Amino acid sequence: MSLRLGDTAPDFEQDSSIGKIRFYDWAGDSWVVLFSHPADFTPVCTTELGLTAKLKPEFDKRNVKAIALSVDPAESHKLWTRDIEETQQCVVGFPIIADQDQKVAKLYDMIHPEQSQTATVRTLFVIDPRKKVRLMIAYPMSTGRNFDEVLRVIDALQLTDSHNVATPGNWKQGGDVIIPLSVKDEEEIKRKYPKGYTAPRPYLRMTPQPNK
């Protein structure tokens, strides 16, 4: 199965480091960061899970839950969690899916045969509370993810969901945003963007972030 942006994220039931999980029930009304790993007890993955654990306060602010996955069994995940906590000085407060039968990996197309026939590549999904896929990033096995970018994109998605704006390249919280081309009426612009705007070109209208 090949997922695309806007698709409904597949539900599943699978074992994990905290016991059996039904994905939709576990996710509830939260945003979700679902990210896969080639295997337990691997160095890049250990640093990534440590970073994710340390980001819990930032995820909580954004109503985000994290959940990891690899094709190793739950007992292996529990043992690995101890290593992560000791070496990365953190508390792993999120589950790791034990996808031994590759059921979830196949649902989410996490196995790329040219990389490995059995191990999941570093795929990351951001899924919104309606269970829609909003972001997909695939990294090669040797390259760790940039979790600052994950937070940045979640901020952008949540902002553009709540306000009729788009975000420019390298946008961060507090930066100017773009008035979409679909908004044409000047009175509507004044009403929706009371902070005003600048327009170096008619199609490029920048306005201060509306919720700051």
Instruction: Write the pLDDT tens digit of every residue in 73-105.
Output: 999 999 999 999 999 999 999 999 999 998 998
76-95: buried (b, 16+ CB within 10 Å) or exposed (e) per residue? bbbebbeebeeebebebebb
Domain shared by 140 and 174, yes or no: no
Residue with the two structure tokens 């007992």: 75
Amino acid at residue number 69: L
Question: For the chain, how many structural domains are there in total?
Answer: 2
CB atoms within 10 A of CB 201: 6
Q: Rounded CA gap, 99 and 89, in Å?
A: 26
Q: Within a 10 A sphere around the Cβ of 124, how many other Cβ atoms? A: 21
Residue 31's pLDDT is what? Answer: 98
Helix, strand, or coil (residue 103): helix
Say if residue 140 is in the same domain as residue 181: no
- Full-model pTM: 0.92
Q: Which residues have CB under 8 Å from 160's CB, separation 6+?
A: 166, 167
The answer on 196 and 118 residing in a single domain is no
Say how many C-beta atoms besides its own lie within 10 A of residue 70's C-beta.
25
Predicted confidence at residue 115, as pLDDT, reads 54
Q: Which of 111, 144, 177 is the last residue of a domain?
A: 144
* Cα(105)–Cα(119) distance, integer angstroms: 9
> Are 131 and 171 members of one domain?
no
Instruction: Identify the sign of the CA torsion 170, 48, 143, 120.
Output: negative
Residues 97 and 71: their CA atoms lie apart, in Å, by 8
90 is catalytic: no
Rounded CA-CA distance 88/85 in Å is 5
Tell me the residue range of the domain where 169 lies. Answer: 163-207
Catalytic residue chosen out of the listed positions 21, 27, 33, 45? 45
| pLDDT by 10-residue block (mean), the chain, 212 residues | 89 97 98 93 94 97 96 94 97 96 90 55 90 93 90 98 97 97 91 94 96 89
